[in-house]
Amino acid sequence: AWSPDGTRILTTSTDRTAGVRDATTGHLQCTLTGHTQTVTGGAWSPDGTRILTTSTDCTAGIWDATTGHLQCTLTGHTQTVTGGAWSPDATRILTTSTDSTAR
């Protein structure tokens, strides 16, 4: 996923991490470590300061996009979290899951 300003990209992995990379050089700027299973996707907050990740561990994470620090773990789904999105004003998050729910 591209950052809102186009300078960074978010990559996700089966190794339980996500990475923030420089969009020009590909240099890894920080690693998001905290999920216990595959990271299935991610989304940048509209202002580019936070990242939302989703995972097969039934959680979503909110991260500081500069430091990679986990700010919050969102729970409630009972199966893989397949998608996530920020509201335009970044005050709410929507997640979807293979448990047939959206939260």
User: Which CATH number goes with the domain that contains 38?
Assistant: 2.40.10
Q: Give the residue ranges of the chain where pLDDT is below 70.
A: none
| Phi/psi of residue 68, nearest 5 degrees | 80, 10
Q: Which domain holds residue 66?
A: 8-89
User: Could you give the 3-state DSSP secondary structure of residue 81?
Assistant: strand
Those residues whose C-beta lies under 8 Å from the C-beta of residue 15, and which sit 6 or more positions away, are none
Whether residue 64 is contained in a domain is answered as yes
Asked if residue 100 is part of any domain, the answer here is: no
Question: Does residue 33 sit within a domain?
Answer: yes
Number of domains in the chain: 1
* 101 assigned to some structural domain: no
The answer to the question of residue 62 being in a domain is yes
Structure tokens belonging to residue 59: 């959680």
Task: Tell me whether residue 72 is in a domain.
Answer: yes
Phi, psi of 97 (to 5 degrees): -145, 160
Q: What is the pLDDT of residues 16-41, one digit of tens each?
A: 999 999 999 999 999 999 999 999 99
Residue 56 confidence (pLDDT): 98
Domain membership flag for residue 98: no
**Domain membership flag for residue 99:** no
Residue 65, pLDDT score: 97
Q: What is the CA radius of gyration of the chain?
A: 13
Which H or E run contains 52? strand 50-55
Q: Could you tell me which of 38, 50, 44 has the C-alpha nearest to residue 82?
A: 38
Predicted model pTM: 0.95
